[in-house]
Structures are given as structure tokens and as C-alpha cells.
């Protein structure tokens, strides 16, 4: 079991082989030889190089929206797909406008596409947010397949639910990044719960709460 999140050494950061903890994955030299070979596969090396260059050029200066656009420019991606939650339609519309103002072609697909009742896939009335009204299911597979149909070069996720986003990643043919991770309670800033864990928010993250 690897415990990098709890490591106090981070020998990897300086490649200090003498300080590797006993369960450090860097003990497996053969594994990293194979990993390095993966970066030489078709389309992978250039993708990695440009992401590293964007990281360096915009470090501490660019918001993520600009990082996404700069990466797309470096990769010559022109057709951008946006898969968004209906609850963040306003944010998605602003992002799409920014992309178009920067001369990208954009296809956007909302989560409720298809208007499929939740009941069709085994969900009960008690599983609905508003039991007494029609609720269309979120359709992340539909979002992915529609963007695949449009042959997008790169996709951006805005606020898809936990699990729904996983299905989108699974079925998307284009590489995908996330602009906004949904957190309805913390104004879509999920890191806020981590920063407040030792104070105000701890009671909400303990077992049974």
C-alpha cells in the first residue's frame, strides 16, 4: 500500500534515492522503466510536453480557463466540447463565450440531454430530489457520445455529479479536463471542506454525519 499523501519525505521531488520510505513506489525500478516507455507512445510525449510548458508559462499567473485555452492552442485543438451540469448553465455559457471570443469552435451538451425519466433506469420516487415532479436523469454517456459524434479535439467538464463525471470520462474519445468540480454547498470549491476540516466543517465529514 502506498501512502504518498502522508509522506513527510517526498524523496521523489528531488529524486533523493537515499531517503525513500520503505513503501515508496520508487523502489520498483522496473515499473518506472515501463512508465517512461509509455511517454514515448504515439501522441503521448507531445501531449505531456505541452502540458508541462503551460504549467511553467502560466504558473501563478493564469486562471484555469486561460490554461485550458493555451494548452489547446499548443496542441492545435480547435474543436472543443463542453459537457456541463444544468445547474451551472450560466457558468457554461460564459465559458463557451470566452472560447468563441478566442476563435475556438465549441459544442456544448447539457447533462439532461434526452429528457429520460429516472424511473426508466430503476430509480424509485424516493430516489428523486423532487418526488412529486418529473425528473430527467443525468445522461453523461449521452454527453460523451454526442461530443464523440462531433469529433471534438478536447473536452471540458463543468460541474458533472460525482459518478456521472466518471462515466463521461469512460466514454469520451477525446482527452478531457475539468474546469469546475461541482460542490453545491461550498460554491463549487470542494477544497473548502479540506481547509476547514480542523475547524468549522469537521462535524460534516465524520462517520455517520
Q: What is the distance between the alpha carbons of residues 111 and 157, in angstroms, rounded to a whole number?
A: 10
Could you count the other beta carbons within 10 Å of the beta carbon of residue 180?
A: 20
* Intervals of the chain under pLDDT 50: none
Joined grid coordinates for residue 60: 501563478
Q: What is the distance between the alpha carbons of residues 45 and 38, in angstroms, rounded to a whole number?
A: 9
The pLDDT tens digits for 158-175 are 999 999 999 999 999 999
pTM listed for this prediction: 0.93
Q: What is the distance between the alpha carbons of residues 146 and 138, in angstroms, rounded to a whole number?
A: 14
The pLDDT tens digits for 28-55 are 999 999 999 999 999 999 999 999 999 9
State how far the alpha carbon of 156 is from the alpha carbons of 79, 83, 165, in Å: 11, 6, 11
Amino acid at each position: 500500500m502506498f501512502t504518498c499523501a502522508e509522506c513527510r519525505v517526498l524523496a521523489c521531488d528531488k529524486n533523493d534515492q537515499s531517503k525513500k520510505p520503505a513503501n515508496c513506489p520508487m523502489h520498483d525500478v522496473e515499473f518506472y522503466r515501463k512508465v517512461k516507455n509509455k511517454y514515448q507512445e504515439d501522441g503521448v510525449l507531445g501531449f505531456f510536453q505541452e502540458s508541462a510548458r503551460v504549467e511553467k508559462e502560466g504558473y501563478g499567473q493564469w486562471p484555469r480557463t486561460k490554461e485550458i485555452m493555451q494548452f489547446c492552442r499548443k496542441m492545435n485543438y480547435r474543436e472543443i466540447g463542453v459537457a456541463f451540469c444544468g445547474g451551472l448553465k450560466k457558468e457554461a455559457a460564459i465559458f463557451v463565450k470566452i472560447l468563441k471570443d478566442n476563435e475556438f469552435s465549441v459544442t456544448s451538451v447539457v447533462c439532461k440531454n434526452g429528457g429520460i425519466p429516472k424511473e426508466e433506469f430503476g430509480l424509485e420516487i424516493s430516489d428523486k430530489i423532487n418526488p412529486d415532479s418529473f425528473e430527467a436523469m443525468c445522461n453523461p454517456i449521452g454527453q460523451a457520445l454526442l461530443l464523440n459524434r462531433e469529433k471534438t479535439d478536447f473536452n471540458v467538464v463543468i460541474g458533472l455529479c460525482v459518478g456521472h463525471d466518471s462515466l463521461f470520462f469512460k466514454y469520451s474519445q477525446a482527452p478531457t479536463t475539468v474546469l469546475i468540480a461541482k460542490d453545491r454547498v461550498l460554491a463549487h470549491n470542494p477544497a473548502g471542506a479540506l481547509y476547514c476540516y480542523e475547524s468549522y466543517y469537521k462535524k460534516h465529514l465524520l462517520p455517520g454525519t
